[in-house]
A and B are shown apart, each in its own frame.
Chain A
Amino acid sequence: MTMTPRAASWSFHEEDSARIRGVLQDFLRDASARTALLVDRAGQMLVTVGEPPQFDPTAFASLTAADFSANDQLARLLGEPEFGALFHQGERESLYLADIARRVILVVLFDNRTTLGLVKLRMKAAVQDLTAIFTAMFDRAPAAGSTSVDSEFLGEAEDELDKLFGA
């Protein structure tokens, strides 16, 4: 069948990462939170900043996206356009999740060294900054060739597939 590259694919570059990390590092310091993660709505981990998480990040990212999407639909049932943020409270560790530009989810992991109030307060500015960065990223016309892998990638990837799944 036809393999039409879809415009919805996007890429995440070195310089985007540096700016985003800067925003998140400032936020973690100001909020005294432990770790900040960015996950896209399809369930893929984009960035982790702060203390390295002790859990499986891939599993965490897929569950985060599902959690956020399910809550999005709950909001719609209530007639709300969205729940912009979610809070999950644990005994020692808690999670605060916020939407970025409808495409990405910011997840903040914090413990009793800080308070929900402080995290929420500091998160507002971080969410604004990140929304501006991501919106610009999505609007940016992809430079020629920038969102595709080089031609030899395909051959090597197919070889790996044959090895992994049996030729």
Chain B
Amino acid sequence: MSLINYASREINCKIVYYGPGLGGKTTNLEYVYEKVAPSSKGKLISLATETERTLFFDFLPVDLGTIRGFRTRFHLYTVPGQVYYNASRKLILKGVDGVVFVADSQIDRMEANLEAMQNLYDNMAQHGYDLTKMPFVIQYNKRDLPNAAPIAELDAALNPGWPVEDPARQKPTPDPYRPGEYLVREIEGTWIERVPTFEAVAVKGEGVFDTLKAVSKQVLKTLG
């Protein structure tokens, strides 16, 4: 629920980083915080335990500046990934405009990825939001690790797609971020839509801005 405040001429959009524990959500925000010019960012707030595990959320406001008279900001949030913290995780999704799912590419984290993805769908549904109709991208993080699963395997598990009902949209739609791939395509007579995915090594900053830029652009389109 992006808020257009005509009184103070502000637009604020909320983007939430979701995913399994220790997958790199906080690392994504820390990298953005480190690299964005000081004039374009606010405080990075982390409500974390003493061992730096996210307890409630991390929060970073990023300022796009004034665009056609509106001061435009993105509020970036992470959720606590640990299964145990579901109550807090759900709260953070309130009013979300766009979601980044940060998956841990390591083969032995596949189950944790799936559980977190299912949890995301469940929590969104409980807020009355339909993830299939919202700005949503997936980041496959930790691509540099030797036990990283192949992208095709991660896609099959985490991004199988959903059927496209609208006949007007039942046409091959190239994936702007992966040449030769399609976001919408026909598979065995059914039109299927997947979400854009990004490979990343968040600790080195690789893929962090590509991911954020893609979800931000999707969110901006919903304002029009």
A residues engaging B (CB < 8 A)? 1-6, 8-14, 16-17, 40-44, 46-47, 56, 58-59, 62-63, 65-66, 69-70, 73, 147-154, 156-158, 160-162, 164-166
Contacts and interface: CB of A to CB of B under 8 A. Distances in A.
Nearest to B72: A157
B3 A42 contact: yes
Nearest to B11: A149
Given A5-B222, A59-B59, A153-B223, 7 more contacts: A6-B134, A43-B95, A44-B14, A44-B95, A58-B43, A164-B37, A165-B212
B43 A59 contact: yes
B191 interface: no
Contact of A12 (B5, B61, B209): B5
A16 B7 contact: yes
Which 3 A-B pairs rank lowest in CB-CB distance, beginning with the nearest? A42-B95, A17-B7, A8-B1
B42 A56 contact: yes
Nearest to A148: B224
Interface in B42-86: 42-43, 45, 47, 56-57, 59, 61-62, 64-65, 67-68, 70, 72-73, 75, 77
B67 A153 contact: yes
22 contacts: A1-B135, A2-B169, A4-B134, A5-B222, A6-B222, A8-B1, A9-B4, A10-B1, A11-B4, A12-B7, A58-B61, A59-B59, A62-B59, A62-B61, A66-B91, A147-B4, A148-B4, A149-B68, A153-B70, A154-B223, A161-B64, A164-B62
A47 to B, nearest CB: 7
Q: Which secondary structure dominates where chain B touches chain A?
A: mixed
A63 B45 contact: yes
Interface residues of B, number: 62
A158 B64 CA distance: 9
Contact of B43 (A56, A148, A152, A164): A56
B6 A12 contact: yes
A158 B220 CA distance: 8
Nearest to A18: B7
A152 B68 contact: yes
A89 to B, nearest CB: 21
Contacts of A13: 6-7
A16 B178 CA distance: 45
A156 B223 CA distance: 13
Interface of B: 1-8, 11-12, 14, 36-37, 40, 42-43, 45, 47, 56-57, 59, 61-62, 64-65, 67-68, 70, 72-73, 75, 77, 87-88, 91-92, 94-96, 129, 132-136, 166, 169, 183, 193, 195-196, 209, 212-213, 216-218, 220-224
B222 A165 contact: no
Contact of B95 (A41, A46, A157): A41
Given A153-B224, A154-B223, A164-B62, A14 B94 contact: no
A149 B70 contact: yes
A158 B91 contact: no
Contact of B68 (A2, A47, A58, A150): A150
Contact of B75 (A43, A151, A162): A43
A48 to B, nearest CB: 9
B5 A164 contact: no
Choose among A42, A47, A65 the residue with the greatest number of B CB atoms under 10 Å from its CB.
Answer: A42
Choose among B3, B56, B61, B75 the residue with the greatest number of A CB atoms under 10 Å from its CB.
Answer: B3
